[in-house]
Amino acid sequence: MQRKSIFQFYCFLFFLGLAYAAQRDTSVTPLKKFFVRIVNNLDAKKLNFECKSQEDVIARSLAARGEEFEFGFRLDVQLSTYYFCDLRYWDYHVGFYAFQVDEELLDLCGGVHCIWKAQEDGIYLYDIQRASWLKKYSWEKTGK
């Protein structure tokens, strides 16, 4: 009789734990796939970029306005995955975290896609909640 009561108690705790886990935000889980998209919205200017993580380096050139490049990746088990990107055109550049496990950034991305757009006045992130572009960074002049 006592074994049955202990078993029922542990079953209760197990299902209580499942119910609690279902209520929590599970949008950031190990091995979940995310995407970063870089969009060139510069007037007739080539955009070069390099995005680095702990394991990868992705470098591309987007030659014309409207060109874009998207890459996907999976979160590591420690949820420490990041991509730091350096964008360049002419003698301007800007470096920023295009992806990291950060509540504010992921809220703005609004899902698994972080979409960044380069314009003459800076770098914009698409805010999925408001369906609008939010200016996040300004270009810096390189020392050339």
For the segment 47-55, the average pLDDT, to the nearest whole number, is 97
- The SS3 of residue 62 is strand
Residue 25's pLDDT band (boundaries 50, 70, 90)?
very low
- CB of 53 within 8 A of CB of 73? yes
For a pLDDT cut of 70, what percent of the chain falls above it? 83
- Residue 129 is predicted with a pLDDT of 87
- CB of 91 within 8 A of CB of 11? no
- Residue 144 is predicted with a pLDDT of 60
- Residue 14 is predicted with a pLDDT of 54
Mean pLDDT (the chain) is 87
Spatial neighbors of 132 by CB under 8 A, at least 6 apart, are: 126
Asked whether residue 61 carries a pLDDT value surpassing 70, the answer given is yes
Higher-scoring residue by pLDDT: 44, 31: 31
Structure tokens at 107: 């809220």
- Residue 16 is predicted with a pLDDT of 43
Residue type, 37: R
Residue 11's pLDDT band (boundaries 50, 70, 90)?
low
